Structure 1
Amino acid sequence: MQEDYIKIIFGLKLKQIRAEKNLSLFGLSKLSGLSKSYLNEIENGKKYPKPDKISILSEKLDVPYDQMVSLKLDKNLAPIGDLLQSKILKEIPLDLFGIKESTLIDIVANAPAKVNAFISTIIEIAQNYSFSRESFFLASVRSFQQANNNYFDELEQQVLKFVEAYQIDFKQPITSSELEEILVEEYGYSIQSNELDKYEALGTLRTVFIPRTKTLLLANAIDEAQRTFIYAKEIAYNFLNISDRLYTFPWIKFDSFDQVLNNFYASYFAGALILSKEKLSRQLTEIFEKKTFDTTLFLKAINDFNASPESFYQRLTNILPKEFNIQNLYFLRFTHEAGSDVYNLKKELHLSHQHSPHANETNEFYCRRWVSLQVLNSISTTKKEHEFAVQILNYKSDGLKYLVFSSATKDPFKENHYRSISIGLLINKQLHRKLHFLADEGIVTKDVGVTCQRCAIENCEVRKSPATLLEKSIKNKKIEQIVEELNRKFS
């Protein structure tokens, strides 16, 4: 590995960590006792600190030493690392365009999030055979979320301004009635709840907004939590002065990427308004400090807010990376029809890097040992309102373990349809430091795969397909080894 490459990567990681902590170079200098000029040279890839200096930075920034010195990059920086490590910068005649290689590296070093979002989007496009305009826009938003660890401080501050301006009591669950009053009195909305149900063809459409008359049409089937979230999104559009927006929920069409991005902004604002960061952080701290996992306390945290389990788990993806420095996590939403053997992965988000459970070819079977699918099976037979479970999933193929929380609820718009929401946290030294209950023997550990076709678990009682793709991969590796031996033999 080239020495310059190692310096650049360490500098990028340090700059990223500093930015996540909202520290200036001056602030990091005061915190660590290292000079501002020295830190600046490190971040720009000019110098590599000695072990004692790295130990100081590790301690003051609350980041494990091994994580700081590792050349393995998380998802935020991996594409940049691939770019720097490849020969592409040597092969492109940059001088013909008046560009110096050092200048290009400086651009990468000084704007890694923007560069990575672009590279990640291009990579994701290349990995999809039939990439629609819709998929492109959604992939771009996911890359944007991942590049920012799914935390947007400006939106968080806007929520606090709104709460102060409208005297919202953050100590109490926010109700739809108080948000409806603001929409009607402040923004001139007219709200009707009996129109959409007249049209059977609208299916699961929950809202339609008519901008000319500021009329919001709601489906009768939505519950209190959904109504509150919908109102909070409408408030976001108005309070943030967003005019280029989508007019249905869920959306059925869009005209530009800005509409998709603004929809994300409004949803983020709504989640941050309904689920107070301060209150939820206190509850999570109480849960994490216990020596055993307290299911009752976790479910109480969900029920303390006027929000759906999905909104709660989504909010965790904002708060865990920011407030607890737990940055290696994933979010999944599955749907399932009772009695069928089909599980559809409808939404996913991966922070720091691509984690083991992720979308695959549609003709593969997701691992039936996943807790995400098990809670779906349970709720479809018990008919409970909320099915919850926590497990440790051990992916033996890649040596990674995840602590996974999963909730399943009924789909109010489809008979005999259910959905599960899961958040998985990579078990590493950092998670052991933050979660004191990881050694709880009451948490079941299961060996799992990603899909049956790629799984090496023998005699699996819930296997739906032979490990055809795994066997093909093993066969190809064997062929490669023989070819290499033949090359050595006859060279």
Structure 2
Amino acid sequence: MFLKIFAKIPTFGFMAIAEEYIRLIFGLKIKQIRTDKDLSLFGLSKLSGLSKSYLNEIEKGKKYPKTDKIIKLAETLEVPYDSLVSLKLDKNLAPIGEILQSGILDEIPLELFGIQQSDLIDIIANAPSKVNAFISTIIEIAQHYNMSREGFYLASLRSYQEAHNNFFKDLEDTAIRFANSYQLELSGEIKAAELEEILIEEYGYTINTSGIPHHEELDNLRSVFVPSTKTLLLSDRVDEPQKTFIYAKELGYQYMEIKERPYTFSWIRYDNFEEVLHNFYASYFAGALIIPRNHLKGHLKDLFGAKRFSEKAFHKIMKLYNASPESFYQRLTNILPKDFGMQNVFFLRFTHKKGMERFNLVKELHITHQQQPHANEINEHYCRRWMAIKTLQHSANEDLSYSFDIQISDYADTDQQYLVFTSATKDPFRKDYYRSIGIGFLISSSLEKKISFVNDAKIPKVKVGVTCESCSIMDCEVRKAPPKRLLAKEKFKRTSRLVADIVKEYS
């Protein structure tokens, strides 16, 4: 649970806090006492004989003064020496101590978003009770929605990807350098055997293609890496594209000299955010190697230039690469925003068990805007008119290994329409499970100039909602639940009108 990060608060003494935090706590105390006495830094400097710049560094937690200077500060501020050096905080600063001690600031990848930890602590210090209330609210939300530690990390990663439009030039360049160094063609299909040879010859790997036992608990594992012997265990159920991707990821870890990483694919758990980030780097590297950017761009230009959508042409491009449908769709989220200027794009991945009513949104990405289809953890029913859901249902009902469809999703409660492509595949690792991968583009005059077939009359246009509980399409034949959120909103409006009438009558 995400809450476990905070649950450490009552169990450790302050002596366990890192030296950096001891400096911070001392500095916060000095600042609080100084401001309580309505003293400026200049004033405290004049009274204590310590320079203003030195006092400023103390208050920011950058320096911890020697004993004689602490004595001087205690005398100047008229507080006991023991009170200053004690790690016990009064009620106003206690929330900061709890936050520091909990380790939550180490868990949040602040540097990814250009935030310094000292700046955040300064914000907390200026209004500790208000910030503590905010932190408590975040904890309560996390508890209510059962957000796991991994979920928190993955949400941070998504924000990082979205902030960069999911395009990372340094990783693109690294993949090109690797290909040039090992004489790999970036204009055709890279085979697993080519990458396996590099892993063995250059990086000393031992590959075992039948090393993962057939246990139900291990069904979702594609690979396990044993670092002590550089042994890579593969499931005997991975196909050629999956094997190629796994090998490419391993080469990414090795070539970029990444040490902190998960050792299983799919992951079992992440111990820290660095593992999440490095897993993403290696996955991006693999995608850039297997589906080269410049090669894909040219073929997409031809596809988008046609006046009519051709499913055959779409799949012809997909089959140029030794990659799964998911890898191909993921790669589109790198290329389209950067090279085609398609900024309003979403990517969704659903899983579904045959015969069940539940559809799980397990991966999502939104470039530029939080588009209409987005995850919710409030146990509502996703719209059954979504392409992702319909394709999954079709695959499960017909027991298909692969299916594809396209539609324009016209959102009932907004003026937004999306062009949506979706592919669904059978899960080879779990019986009766299916997964769909979809990508959607917000339709605008700009998109119409970039994708000529947007106005193809053969592409069906379907009215959709987000969840049944929030949808205003009253005659929906596939509705799974009443629109309780809309009904509650209408009731509130009626109540407000009646109250206004009563107030008017007695005014």
Paired amino acid for 1:472: A
Residue 419 of structure 2 is aligned to residue 411 of structure 1: no
Match of 2:469 among 440, 449, 453: 453
Aligned residue identity for 1:134? E
Asked if residue 209 in structure 1 is aligned to residue 238 in structure 2, the reply is no
Secondary structure at 1:356 match in 2: coil
* Residue identity matched to 2:182: Y
Q: 1:406 to 1:470 in 2, by over 3 A?
A: same
> Equivalent residues in 2 for 1:88-487 (5 A)?
114=114, 128=142, 129=144, 130-480=146-496
Would the aligned equivalents of 1:290 and 1:437 in 2 still touch at CA under 8 Å? yes
Structure 2 spans left out of the alignment, 5+ residues = 1-38, 43-110, 121-134
Ranges in structure 1 where 5+ consecutive residues have no aligned partner: 1-94, 99-110
CA separation of 1:231 and 1:484: change in aligned 2, threshold 3 A: farther
| Cα distance change of structure 1 residues 196 and 479 upon mapping to structure 2, 3 Å threshold | same
Task: Give 1:358 shift.
Answer: 1.1
CA-to-aligned-CA distance 1:288-336 (integer Å, 9 cap, x gap) = 1111111111011111110000001101110110000101011111111
Q: CA deviation at 1:486?
A: 6.5
What is the TM-score when the length of structure 2 is the normalising length? 0.71
**Is residue 112–residue 160 contact of structure 2 (8 Å, CA) maintained in 1?**
no
TM-score by length of 1: 0.73
* Cα 1:268–1:489 shift into 2, 3 Å: farther
Q: Which residue of 1 aligns with 2:21?
A: none
Q: Does the C-alpha gap of structure 1 residues 254 and 167 become closer, same or farther in structure 2, counting only changes over 3 Å?
A: same
Cα 1:437–1:375, aligned 2, differ >3 Å: closer, same or farther? same
Indicate conservation of the 8 Å contact 1:281/1:319, yes or no. yes
Relative distance call for 1:194 and 1:485 in structure 2 (3 A) is: same
**How far apart, CA to CA, are the structure 1 residues paired with 2:112 and 2:218?**
43
Aligned match of 1:51: none
Hey, what's the Cα distance between the residues in 2 that align with 1:170 and 1:267?
17
* AA aligned opposite 1:388: F
What is the root-mean-square deviation of aligned Cα atoms in Å?
2.6
Partner Cα separation in structure 2 for residue 395 and residue 181 of structure 1: 50
Q: Over residues 153-190 of structure 1, what are the superposed CA-to-partner deviations in whole Å (9 max), with x where a residue is unaligned?
A: 10001011011101101122011000000000000000
Q: Is the 8 A contact 1:197 1:220 kept in 2?
A: no
- Residues 125 and 136, structure 1, Cα contact 8 Å, conserved in 2: no
CA distance in 1, matches of 2:301, 2:432: 37
Amino acid at match of 1:219: S
Residue type at the aligned position of 2:470: R
Instruction: State the SS of the aligned residue for 1:369.
Output: coil
Aligned mates of 1:244, 1:339 — CA distance in 2: 40
Q: Kindly tell me: are residues 473 and 178 of structure 1, through their superposed partners in 2, closer, same or farther at Cα, counting changes over 3 Å?
A: same
Q: Structure 1 residues 165, 389: CA separation in 2 closer, same or farther (over 3 Å shift)?
A: same
- Find the aligned partners of 2:462 and 2:431 in 1 and give their Cα distance: 31
Asked whether the equivalents of residues 113 and 148 of structure 1 are also in contact (C-alpha less than 8 Å), the reply is no
Question: What's the secondary structure of 2:452's corresponding residue?
Answer: coil
| 8 Å contact from structure 1 (residues 334, 346) kept in 2 | yes
| CA distance in structure 1 between the partners assigned to 2:342 and 2:500 by the alignment | 42
Q: Secondary structure of the equivalent of 1:407? A: strand
SS in 2 for 1:391: strand
| 1:482 to partner: Cα distance | 5.2
The residue number in structure 2 matching 1:55 is none
**Residue 261 of structure 1 aligns to a residue in which SS?**
helix
Q: CA deviation at 1:342?
A: 1.5
Deviation at 1:126, TM superposition (A): 7.7
Q: Which amino acid aligns with 1:280?
A: L
Note the C-alpha offset of 1:199: 4.3
Kept in 2, the 8 Å contact 1:332–1:421? The answer is: yes
Rg (Cα) greater in structure: 2
